[in-house]
Amino acid sequence: MSATQLQNIIIRDLGQEAYEDYSRQQITNPDVIAAAAKGTLSSIPPMPGHCVMISAGFVAALRASGVTAFVILGDLLINGKYAFRCYHNLPNPTHDDELVDATWDGHAWVMIGDCLCDLSIFRTAYGLAQPNHLSSYILEHFGTGKGAFMCYPHQMPVGMEFVPKFALNDDQIYGLLEGLSHQARAQRQQ
Average pLDDT, the chain: 87
* Per-state percent for the chain, helix, strand, coil, to nearest 5: 45, 20, 35
Cβ(43)–Cβ(57) under 8 Å? yes
Which range is least confidently modeled, 2-6, 44-48, 106-110, 111-115?
Answer: 44-48
Mean pLDDT, residues 76-97 taken together: 82
**Residue 118 parent element (H or E):** strand 115-118
Q: How confident is the model at residue 3 (pLDDT cuts 50, 70, 90)?
A: confident
Q: For residue range 87-113, what is the model confidence (pLDDT) as tens digits?
A: 888 876 665 655 555 567 899 999 998
User: For residue 67, is pLDDT > 70?
Assistant: yes
Q: What is the pLDDT of residue 99?
A: 55
